[in-house]
Structure 1
Amino acid sequence: MKEFLLYFRFVKPYRKLVALTLLIGALKFAIPLLLPLFLKYVLDGILLPPIPVEDKIQQLLTVIGIAFVVFVIVRYPIEYYRQYFAQLTTSRILFDLRNRLYAHLQRLSLRFYQNRKSGEIISRIMNDVEQTKSIVETGMMNIWLDMFTLTIALVIMANMDPLLTLTAVLVLPFYGYAVKKLYKRLRGYSRARSQAVAEMQGYLSEHVGGVPVVKSFTLEQYEQEQFGAKNSRFLERALALTRWNALTNAIINTLTEVAPLLVLAYGGYLVAVGDLTIGGFVAFYGYLDRLYMPLRRLVNASTELTQASASLERVMELLNEKEDVADMPGASPIGEARGDIEFRGVWFRYNENSEWVLKDINLAVEPGQTVALVGMSGGGKSSLISLLPRFFDIQQGEIRLDGRDVRSLTLHSLRSHIGIVLQDNILFSGSVRENILLGDPSAAEASIIDAAKRANAHDFIMQLPSGYDTEIGERGVKLSGGQKQRVAIARVFLKDPAILVLDEATSALDLESEHLIQESLRELAADRTTLIVAHRLSTITHADQIIVIENGEVAERGKHDELMAAGGAYARLFNVQHL
């Protein structure tokens, strides 16, 4: 019920459109209810009475003309607008819901994404959101229209013959019992099927991106078997839902066929003894269809709503995902940043049950300084720099920027002053220009070109087939590693941040590419506070401070010459690499 209340927040802005759709739908469903009455009038008032043939034909043509106007000319626009407004309403609601979900995803921390497969998240936004449209179309529109049709049909039938009407509805209690029993398990089957779809989509999203690995290790057959297992799991859950749906429909449709037989038996008796006219009997039988067709749709609506509610649970579960890194109450923008950074007694771990990744880190970086973080892999270097832009929040201690706790700053203003270059920078499908513009979407063409030149990227970009308009493919697959890195550096130049974070920015490149990128990075780091994570120690000998981190703690600190003279951990690492 809580999920439905949350969902109705998205429906509320369109309540007038829903009401208009219901009004038009009531007209649409009311028109067919006139047809049995037309039929009764034609039989009892025109065809069966002993009147001249010419009069019968004249009256019949008149009635057919009126029926044509009502059932064709009037019904056509009503049918069109009912469908149009129903689809318009649901499409807008799903549009708003997907926008809200995507905006919520932007606010979730990296911890959330580390624990989720991207394909599963996509499945919730696309597949599960699409399933929820039944809540509006069926739950808020069709059910009420079918109830309206059913009620009007019952009133007309009861007015024609109360006892025959009672005969027609004898099976309704069995309907209620069947629905109560059968749909109890349908929700669980629907949720299990949705989860299987999400798992398979998550698997596909991950492994399609890893095709080069599959081919290099000749794992095609193994991958086929793995996917077959996932697909079989989905098939098993889909068939379980299908079997239950089939059982439900079989029972419901069998119950539905009992009513016409009862009406035929008792109605035929009434006609035989003269208590009911043939036209009245035919009209009543026509209303029987108008009674049980909405009833069938109501039963099918229960199926749709059960499946939709299972999808809605998954959607709202994502929408209610806690924002564990968010603006604190009273947070304010930082304005212009000088780049004065201080870590005071910082302790950090990724979750409550894990070991401490960082232990009592104390570090001061003055504006414009370059500080290098070095040490063995897994020591906590990358974790440390991820805390400054608050990709994660610390458990103990304090991180200050220009004298203010970073948690007292708005996330947008904090991150707008930090430029990050990673070892594997993510580029998006689109043109080179569009990827550089991520640094500043409002930048002019001259600024884009200037940023590319300063990143040593302009020359190779101009050699591409369409220059800056060249499409680079998903994750920039059409560019080499060095080219992707230079595009990533160009967008940081365009951003022009006060603080620069370099996380293994050149470790995966060849020497020629590294030389070009090191030139770009030296210019980029000029007059900026710079934090560098590096394994290749020859690239950070110029740093104002070198911090050696081992097992989450600061083992050594100082300049290159000082640490070499001390002969400690840094000197051993440097000598090994130099040899």
Structure 2
Amino acid sequence: MDSIKRYMRFVKPYKFLLFLTIIIGIIKFTIPLFLPWLLQIVLDDILLNDTLSKDEKTLQLFTWVGIGLALFFVIRPPIEYYRQYFAQNLSNNILFDIRKELYGHLQKLSLKYYANTRAGEVISRVINDVEQTKNFVMTGLMNLWLDLVTIIIVVSIMFSMDVKLTLVSLIALPFYAISVKYFFGQLRSLTRARSQALAGVQSYLHERVAGMSIIKSFTLEKHEQKIFDETNGEFLNKALDHSRWNAKSFAVVNTITDMAPLIIIGYAGYQYLQGNLTIGVMVAFYAYIDRLYGPLRRLVSSSTTLTQSIASMDRMFELMDEKYDVQNKENAIELPKAQGKLQFENVTFKYEANGNTILNKVDFTIEPGQTVAFVGMSGGGKSTIVSLIPRFYDVVEGAVKIDDLDVRDVMLPSLRSQIGIVLQDNILFSDSVKQNILMGNPTASDEQIIAAAKAANAHDFIMNLPEGYDTKVGERGVKLSGGQKQRVAIARVFLKNPPILVLDEATSALDLESEALIQDSLDRLASDRTTIVIAHRLSTITHADKIFVIEHGEVAESGNHEQLMNQHGAYYNLFQVQKLD
């Protein structure tokens, strides 16, 4: 299967450890096979041997039991320990490598993928599905082979004891193989459906936990409980379908395997009555039947486990196969230290190939060091324009250029490292204030962090937090006010110190006091660098060198505040409406 072949790439670096684990496992599984043989010796050669005296029988009995005790109490424990340790070490390292590669892959996927995919679905594949593949390592690459080797050894011992009895013991095997093939053919699709339903539950929970404040504020608890019950019920139905088929398979297979000992008892008893078999061989054979059909039962269980693992592999590799919408060209170059010149040359853009045109032949130039504002009604395309500069998306037609270089011709890290972005709702991670600021420059010193915080008017409030810079801000910065979150976000851009700055409605959702503090820090941040501002309140951008009015994905007007006011056009009308408000 293709998924298994691909999965073996992650196993290959650990092939020696896998080989060592299998060898130790074979020794571990072989040791218990000594017991039926010992039982035959004790019965036939000691207890039922009339040629030995009582003292000789006692001596031989305790000698053989002593050998058994040494085998199980001295040799087996370290073998058991190292087998378990190496097996877990191997599987956990493989899962570590897979998740490492998956996370690197997730960071390369474009924002379009995340706009169209629920976060819970992604998390389910990286956590649940990857974890399920551990069973392939433990079962398919180790236990499966160990059980097969055990079966071969047991059958070999049985043949050495009695050929006819061994052949009778194996009579159920063809029926066993047919039933396994029949039942486990459909199990893979049932397992995939079950995993998909589980991912649905996880996605729902992820979204609702994140939006619990909305649920509570609108008293939607009963409504949400009903929807969750439906989602959870869908998973229950898929899980029951899976369990029902699984139960049928085990019922049939176990019935077949349980018939074999009955056949052996009848045939062995007949052979004993005919004088062709000893009691010791009969008892040992019955014990070996358990050793034979025990691994066979495990192989049935392994079939279920492997089917589940392969279905999870399929989902895991589906995620790995997601194409990168935005990636470096083969001959991409490093973007030199940017001067800050920005050009949009007849840029047309759609989020989807068959979707609406968001930008239509947008054309403008921003000179180095200029402060430029984009204004207009919501949905006009302002935020789309700024998302094309760091190449979060690629244009459909035209070109976006920095210092006369097409952004598609330069390396992404060198491009994005020179652009700082402050949004209306900046995301902070549930770490310390210090770690959130450090995202602007992970190698910065404490002195540089404090300097950035002071420049962002954030140092004073940070020092008043319970643990200062080491205070945890909670998920998405929930423990900080809107203004505090903005100042931390601005501090990390100060630390990054990029030549190009993008401010996307960075003060529109704040109270007047916070806005004044943040506007002061933003003015300081915008000094001596190219700055692009998306503003809702026009009063905050009257100082801009140039203002572009965006309407329906096109540049409707451009000029400075005074020029646009004199035109009495779209900008003038917007300004008059806000002035009246």
Structure 2: distance between partners of 1:257 and 1:213: 57
Give the structure 2 partner of residue 149 of structure 1: 150
SS of match in other structure, 1:311: helix
Give the structure 1 partner of residue 79 of structure 2: 78
State yes or no: 1:558 paired with 2:559: yes
Equivalent residues in 2 for 1:196-235 (5 A)? 196-235=197-236
Give CA-to-partner distance per residue, 1:170-228, whole Å, 9 cap, x none: 11111111111111111111111111111111111111111111111111111111111
Equivalent residues in 2 for 1:310-325 (5 A)? 310-325=311-326
Give CA-to-partner distance per residue, 1:486-539, whole Å, 9 cap, x none: 110000000000000011111111111111111111110011111111111111
Equivalent residues in 2 for 1:489-504 (5 A)? 489-504=490-505
1:306 to partner: Cα distance: 0.3
Give CA-to-partner distance per residue, 1:270-311, whole Å, 9 cap, x none: 111110111111111111111101111111110000001111
Structure 2: distance between partners of 1:75 and 1:463: 61
Give the structure 1 partner of residue 239 of structure 2: 238
Amino acid at match of 1:198: A
1:237 to partner: Cα distance: 1.0
Task: State TM-score, norm by structure 1.
Answer: 0.99
State yes or no: 1:396 paired with 2:407: no
Amino acid at match of 1:469: D
State yes or no: 1:34 paired with 2:34: yes
Give CA-to-partner distance per residue, 1:402-444, whole Å, 9 cap, x none: 1111111110010000000000000011111111111111111
Equivalent residues in 2 for 1:138-537 (5 A)? 138-537=139-538
Amino acid at match of 2:32: P
Structure 2: distance between partners of 1:41 and 1:232: 58
Structure 1: distance between partners of 2:77 and 2:558: 82
Structure 2: distance between partners of 1:427 and 1:229: 33
Q: Larger deviation: 328-337 or 482-491?
A: 328-337
Structure 1: distance between partners of 2:45 and 2:165: 22
1:335 to partner: Cα distance: 2.5
Give CA-to-partner distance per residue, 1:108-154, whole Å, 9 cap, x none: 11001001111111111111100001111111111111110001111
Structure 2: distance between partners of 1:259 and 1:466: 70
Give CA-to-partner distance per residue, 1:39-79, whole Å, 9 cap, x none: 11111110001121111001101111111111221111111
Amino acid at match of 1:188: S
Structure 2: distance between partners of 1:528 and 1:401: 13
1:363 to partner: Cα distance: 1.1
Equivalent residues in 2 for 1:561-576 (5 A)? 561-576=562-577
SS of match in other structure, 1:439: coil
1:165 to partner: Cα distance: 1.2
Structure 2: distance between partners of 1:87 and 1:488: 42
1:353 to partner: Cα distance: 1.3
Structure 2: distance between partners of 1:520 and 1:41: 90
Structure 2: distance between partners of 1:7 and 1:506: 49
Structure 2: distance between partners of 1:172 and 1:66: 34
1:466 to partner: Cα distance: 1.5
Amino acid at match of 1:165: T
1:319 to partner: Cα distance: 1.0
Structure 2: distance between partners of 1:418 and 1:349: 23
Amino acid at match of 1:19: F
Structure 1: distance between partners of 2:426 and 2:148: 57
Give the structure 2 partner of residue 3 of structure 1: 3
1:339 to partner: Cα distance: 0.8
Give CA-to-partner distance per residue, 1:380-405, whole Å, 9 cap, x none: 11011100101001111111111111
1:471 to partner: Cα distance: 1.4
Structure 2: distance between partners of 1:451 and 1:557: 34
Amino acid at match of 2:16: K
Structure 2: distance between partners of 1:244 and 1:465: 56
SS of match in other structure, 1:357: strand
Give the structure 2 partner of residue 18 of structure 1: 18
1:247 to partner: Cα distance: 1.2
Structure 2: distance between partners of 1:158 and 1:495: 75
Structure 2: distance between partners of 1:24 and 1:167: 31
1:84 to partner: Cα distance: 0.7
Amino acid at match of 1:99: K
SS of match in other structure, 1:424: coil
Amino acid at match of 2:390: P
Give CA-to-partner distance per residue, 1:338-375, whole Å, 9 cap, x none: 11111111111011110111010111011001111111
Structure 1: distance between partners of 2:446 and 2:245: 60
Give CA-to-partner distance per residue, 1:240-261, whole Å, 9 cap, x none: 1111111111111111111001
SS of match in other structure, 1:442: coil
Structure 2: distance between partners of 1:267 and 1:394: 80
Structure 2: distance between partners of 1:3 and 1:359: 43
Q: Larger deviation: 342-351 or 416-425?
A: 342-351
Structure 1: distance between partners of 2:10 and 2:299: 24
Number of equivalences: 579
Structure 2: distance between partners of 1:245 and 1:504: 56
Structure 2: distance between partners of 1:231 and 1:295: 35
1:467 to partner: Cα distance: 1.3
SS of match in other structure, 2:73: helix
Equivalent residues in 2 for 1:101-116 (5 A)? 101-116=102-117
Amino acid at match of 1:492: V
Amino acid at match of 1:31: I
Structure 2: distance between partners of 1:150 and 1:307: 24
Amino acid at match of 1:437: L
Task: State TM-score, norm by structure 2.
Answer: 0.99
1:169 to partner: Cα distance: 1.1
Structure 1: distance between partners of 2:472 and 2:72: 55
SS of match in other structure, 1:43: helix
SS of match in other structure, 1:89: helix
Structure 1: distance between partners of 2:166 and 2:131: 40
Structure 1: distance between partners of 2:81 and 2:395: 58
Q: Larger deviation: 492-501 or 317-326?
A: 317-326
1:323 to partner: Cα distance: 1.1
SS of match in other structure, 1:345: strand
Structure 2: distance between partners of 1:490 and 1:453: 8
Amino acid at match of 1:139: G
Structure 2: distance between partners of 1:433 and 1:67: 62
Amino acid at match of 1:533: I
1:161 to partner: Cα distance: 1.6
Percent identity, please. Answer: 58
Structure 2: distance between partners of 1:516 and 1:155: 84
Structure 2: distance between partners of 1:197 and 1:6: 24
